[in-house]
Chains A and B, each alone.
Chain A
Amino acid sequence: GNSVTQMEGPVTLSEEAFLTINCTYTATGYPSLFWYVQYPGEGLQLLLKATKADDKGSNKGFEATYRKETTSFHLEKGSVQVSDSAVYFCALSDNPWNYGGSQGNLIFGKGTKLSVKP
């Protein structure tokens, strides 16, 4: 079945360091891929998404590219800030009718906790 695997945390970085959180997936067909972020005490928020191969999602300095050949959607940021400390979830939608970016039912990874130190 469909699944998402992301790197184990926690990840601790110094401010302005480069961030990579790896995410790979297993899916049939052409899923959409997402990164969600959960800041302390808040709900999950959509960070970025990509709906087809080679698409790059980006938001708030974060980027992730949909790589079908490697079934990956790694999250990157060139220079992290303390305010980026949160839990990051990679997810895929196996909704085959993805017109307009409908997220359908989401399958999540385990989440990666990021702590950024000043």
Chain B
Amino acid sequence: GAVVSQHPSWVICKSGTSVKIECRSLDFQATTMFWYRQFPKQSLMLMATSNEGSKATYEQGVEKDKFLINHASLTLSTLTVTSAHPEDSSFYICSAKRGGTIGNTIYFGEGSWLTVV
């Protein structure tokens, strides 16, 4: 079964509004979560690394004031797309790092399709 849950799976919002996407680790604590975005026919691109209790680290070219990331607990990270525009329409997917005695494992959520109209 899924160990990382992402919600919502699909969302349509009006241009200018904000939309929040949640990423939860279901049976483990994730100190680090990652947010990716995939435009049609493009690669999954890392947007930011979310660390519990601290500010997210954004990749070059990603506007931190537009894509707000909050990682307030060890099982939840949220991505808020503020003042959404049609060009923000994309597939957003999160992953969570699960620590273990032998290295780490990354688990991905199901992804969220955002359409801005």
Q: Is B75 an interface residue (CB 8 A)?
A: no
Whether the pair B44, A102 counts as a contact (CB closer than 8 A) is no
Whether the pair A110, B106 counts as a contact (CB closer than 8 A) is no
Q: Is A44 an interface residue (CB 8 A)?
A: yes
Cross-chain contact of B2 among A43, A102, A108 (Cβ < 8 A): A43
Q: Is A80 an interface residue (CB 8 A)?
A: no
Using a Cβ cutoff of 8 Å, how many contacts connect chains A and B? 60
Stretch at the interface among B62-70, B79-87, B97-105: B97-105
Q: Is A50 an interface residue (CB 8 A)?
A: no
Q: Which of A52-106 contact B (CB under 8 A)?
A: 89, 99-103, 105-106
Q: How far is the CB of A21 from chain B (nearest CB, A)?
A: 15
How many angstroms from the CA of A58 to the CA of B95 in the assembled complex? 23
Cross-chain contact of A102 among B43, B93, B103 (Cβ < 8 A): B103
Q: Is B58 an interface residue (CB 8 A)?
A: no
Known: A105-B46, A110-B41, A110-B43. A41 touches B110 (CB 8 A): yes
Known: A43-B109, A43-B111. A100 touches B44 (CB 8 A): no
Whether the pair B106, A106 counts as a contact (CB closer than 8 A) is yes
